[in-house]
Amino acid sequence: MPFAHLPHRALLAVSGEEAEHFLEGLITSELPGAGEAHGSALLTPQGKILFTFLVSRNDSGFLIECDASERAGLMQRLSMYKLRAKVEVTADDRPVSAGIGNGIADQRHPEMGSRHYGDTNASASLSDYTHKRASLGVLEGPDEILASQDFPHDVALDLTGAVAFTKGCFVGQEVVSRVKHRGTARRRPVLVKADGLTTGTAIASGEREIGTVRLANDGEGVAVVRIDQVKDVQAITIGGKAASLSVPPYATYSIGGD
């Protein structure tokens, strides 16, 4: 996919001599190396997602790429945690693009390509980018990842490099680690295909509702479902129409149970 401009994405900069220590103790992922963008999140103390974003390094500290509608709220939340730390959190108004080519490598999946911050020759469409995410099971933004409702495992942050289980503490770590070590994750993303697929539509296994579509793009999409409640993949319906489910390429789980 050539580069596509992402008008719904925005940047903020975290700089200052304590920026690394500040972020290390807050966000779910490891801090990235040069030329890398890691998926990451900020959680509630109860382990639920508040914000998801990509984090990368720049010359003065770090860049955080988030949904444009969430930038002000994320800046405010980070500023609350800042206290007396020598850190500055500011808006960066450069445009965001994604595609295949020179840029910052998106570590969520090898086929996600790279990010580019600044003006670029964007010849692909936003639909191309959405199709890529739909085919890989990569959710992003508040319409697909539900704030104060979803846990990281629900949207596979633990499988796309957005949660580090070996780093020091971060907000909500105890709950997330408990789910991993007990193997109790039951809500997971799945790839879905169905005619007339739309976001927000309920998915049923027989008579039981098991989840909802979070991302839809031309008959393909991603849903978050109770994988342990899928009793017969031949009996999956969406809005009364037959649908097919499959696991994303990063999955370590199967439909019907881990």
Strand partners, 127: none
Q: What is the tens place of the pLDDT at every residue in 44-102?
A: 999 999 999 999 999 999 999 999 999 999 999 999 998 888 999 999 999 999 998 88
Question: Is pLDDT at 249 greater than 70 in this prediction?
Answer: yes
Phi, psi of 129 (to 5 degrees): -65, -45
Task: Give dist(CA 243, CA 141) in Å, integer.
Answer: 25
Q: What is the tens place of the pLDDT at every residue in 159-205?
A: 999 999 888 788 888 888 888 888 778 999 999 999 989 999 999 99
Q: What is the pLDDT of residue 247?
A: 95
Sign of CA dihedral 150, 153, 156, 159: positive
Domain 4-98+131-180 superfamily per CATH: Aminomethyltransferase beta-barrel domains (3.30.70.1400)
Q: What is the pLDDT of residue 85?
A: 86
Task: Give dist(CA 158, CA 39) in Å, integer.
Answer: 10
Q: What is the pLDDT of residue 84?
A: 82
pLDDT bracket for residue 258 (50, 70, 90): very low
Q: What is the pLDDT of residue 235?
A: 87
Q: What is the tens place of the pLDDT at every residue in 104-137?
A: 999 999 999 999 999 888 778 999 999 999 999 9
In the sheet that 208-217 helps form, which strands lie side by side, from edge to edge?
241-242, 236-238, 202-205, 208-217, 220-226, 187-193, 244-246
Question: Is pLDDT at 1 greater than 70 in this prediction?
Answer: no
> Rounded mean pLDDT of the chain?
92
Q: What is the pLDDT of residue 124?
A: 82
Strand partners, 4: 98, 124
Between 81 and 257, the more confident residue is 81
Fold of 186-246: Elongation Factor Tu (Ef-tu); domain 3 (2.40.30)
Q: What is the pLDDT of residue 236?
A: 92
Q: Where are the domains of the chain?
A: 4-98+131-180, 186-246
pLDDT bracket for residue 14 (50, 70, 90): very high
Q: What is the pLDDT of residue 73?
A: 97
